[in-house]
């Protein structure tokens, strides 16, 4: 499942066919609906994670983002989708 908001890159004509070509389902959100977008929950956690370490260089930020991505597990993904009212079973 790919959840797409109204980011201009998501509106390119080639995006949906590429996603569907790998048998993924596309869900397009209506405007101004961050409550239904699981990535918003990750952005919130990422910002908190970065604040804890207070990076002072772009290299540190890049490394911390990489670490944060490595910490994501399937349970996190299920919880983020469930929090946005998506079925996770």
Digit-coded pLDDT (tens) for 40-87: 999 999 999 999 999 999 999 999 999 999 999 999 999 998 998 888
Enumerate the domain spans of the chain: 1-32, 34-89
Strands in the chain per DSSP E: 2-4, 26-28
The two three-digit tokens of residue 18, written as one number:
């590429």
**CA distances (Å), origin 3, targets 26, 37, 42, 68:** 6, 7, 13, 21
CB-CB contact of 25 with 1 (8 Å): yes
- Helix 38-53 and helix 58-71, axial crossing angle in degrees, nearest 10: 130
Q: Is the pLDDT of residue 89 over 80?
A: no
CA distance 35 to 16: 22
Q: What is the mean pLDDT of residues 22-42?
A: 90
């Amino acid at each position: 499942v790919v959840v797409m908001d109204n980011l201009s890159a998501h509106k390119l004509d080639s995006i949906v066919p590429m996603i569907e070509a790998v048998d993924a389902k596309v869900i397009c959100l209506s405007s101004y609906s961050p409550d239904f977008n699981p990535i918003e929950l990750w952005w919130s956690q990422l910002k908190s994670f970065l604040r804890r370490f207070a990076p002072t260089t772009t290299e540190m930020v890049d490394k911390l983002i990489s670490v944060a991505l490595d910490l994501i597990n399937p349970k996190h993904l299920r919880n983020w989708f469930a929090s946005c009212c998506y079925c996770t079973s």
